[in-house]
Amino acid sequence: MASTLLDISGKPSPFEVEVFDTIHQAVSHLGIPFLVVGASARDLVLHHAHGVEIIRATGDIDVAVQVESWDAYLKLKKALLAKQFKESDQKQRLISPFGIPVDIVPFGAIEDDSAKISWPPENDIEMHVLGLREACEHADIVRVRDYPALDIPVVTMAGLTILKIIAWTNRTPDLRKKDAIDLLYLLKNYERIPSVSEGAYEVAGLMEQYGWDATLGGAHLLGTNATEIILPDTAHHISRLETGDMSPLGIERLVEEMSSDDDQFERNLALLKAYLAGLNKDPIT
């Protein structure tokens, strides 16, 4: 998928822009690829670029960095600390000079065979980073400041759905619901992007299959776009969720945690199934 340039200059707060600028300078100096992920990425693309209402405000910024070693990661942290960032009680989290929490999650050569990282020196804290590699390789470019121009790589909404599903399968029950709700937000609002709503009518038979329901058609395209970037190991992980190999986790449990009441269950199940149909390249009938 070709990268897209989204110009949202003037919309993020000056404090957010300053944080992005400082991180951009630090990683550029060290030659470290990076990517804005999480709720901050969602808001940059869906809210600032396309006017979708924010349902759950985020006060932090999430960044993924592709490093060759833990030493490279520590050099990045040191560079940010020299810019008045402060450490916190969480290994991946720094606090910006403006009080914005910034989670910096490393991935790359430091992963083990199951795409997990273990934080040194004790290696007692583990984090799953499956999906970050393809998300970084297929980022969109977002202009957050016009002059001087500041362009940053941001996870695509298709890439973010992959990361949300992976996170949901790996978190403890008390933390999973946030990822489920975030996934639902993406499924419900992807069609608000003009290129998506227009593209749904260009795929032969797609809108007819979903009874001309633009939201379901958009969810299907979201899955189709995810297929274009997903790597085999990540696809296999998500397929295990569908086949029941992760029991007690499964599609119905995910939909239950996406839904705030029983009336929403069937609609949310339809949205997730539309997404998975696109992800699995199911024939359009």
* pLDDT for 4: 65
C-alpha to C-alpha distance for 44 and 40, rounded to whole angstroms: 6
pLDDT tens-digit profile of 14-68?
999 999 999 999 999 999 999 999 989 999 999 999 989 887 666 799 999 999 9
Task: Give the mean model confidence (pLDDT) for residues 135-157.
Answer: 96
Residue 11, classified by CB atoms within 10 Å of its CB into exposed (0-12), middle (13-18) or buried (19+), is middle
Listing DSSP states for 136-162 in one string gives HHT-EEEEEETTTTEEEEE--HHHHHH
Say yes or no to pLDDT of 1 above 70. no
Task: Give the mean model confidence (pLDDT) for residues 88-103.
Answer: 94
C-alpha to C-alpha distance for 15 and 211, rounded to whole angstroms: 44
* pLDDT for 271: 97
Cβ(130)–Cβ(198) under 8 Å?
no
Give the model's confidence band at 70: pLDDT under 50 very low, under 70 low, under 90 confident, else very high. very high
Nearest to 275 by CA among 231, 238, 232: 238
* pLDDT for 258: 94
SS (H, E, C) 112-141: CCCCEEECCCCCCCEEECCCHHHHHHCCEE
* pLDDT for 121: 83
C-alpha to C-alpha distance for 66 and 115, rounded to whole angstroms: 13
Name the CA dihedral angle for 136, 119, 165, 279, rounded to a multiple of 10 degrees.
Answer: 40
Domains of the chain, residue spans: 5-155, 160-279
**The domain 5-155 is classified under which CATH number: 1.10.3430, 3.60.40, 2.60.40, 3.30.460?**
3.30.460
pLDDT tens-digit profile of 157-197?
999 999 999 999 999 888 899 999 999 999 999 999 999 99
* pLDDT for 125: 84
Which residues share a beta bridge with 188? none
pLDDT tens-digit profile of 189-225?
999 999 999 999 999 999 999 999 999 999 999 999 9
* pLDDT for 246: 93
* pLDDT for 2: 46
Is the pLDDT higher at 58 or at 152?
A: 152
- The residue count for the chain: 285
C-alpha to C-alpha distance for 88 and 150, rounded to whole angstroms: 27
Which single residue is written with the structure tokens 């009441």?
A: 261
To the question of pTM greater than 0.85 for the whole model, the response is yes
What one-letter code names the amino acid at 128?
A: H
Give the model's confidence band at 122: pLDDT under 50 very low, under 70 low, under 90 confident, else very high. confident
Q: Mean pLDDT over all residues of the chain?
A: 93
Residue 269: other Cβ atoms inside 10 A: 17
Q: Which residues, at least 6 apart from 272, have a Cβ–Cβ distance to it below 8 Å?
A: 187, 219, 251, 254, 255, 258
pLDDT tens-digit profile of 224-257?
999 999 999 999 999 999 999 999 999 999 999 9
Q: How far is CA 148 from CA 30, 83, 151, in A?
A: 21, 20, 10
* pLDDT for 260: 82
* pLDDT for 237: 94
Q: Edge-to-edge strands of the sheet including 34-37?
A: 5-7, 140-145, 150-154, 34-37, 61-67, 101-108, 93-95, 86-87
Give the model's confidence band at 150: pLDDT under 50 very low, under 70 low, under 90 confident, else very high. very high
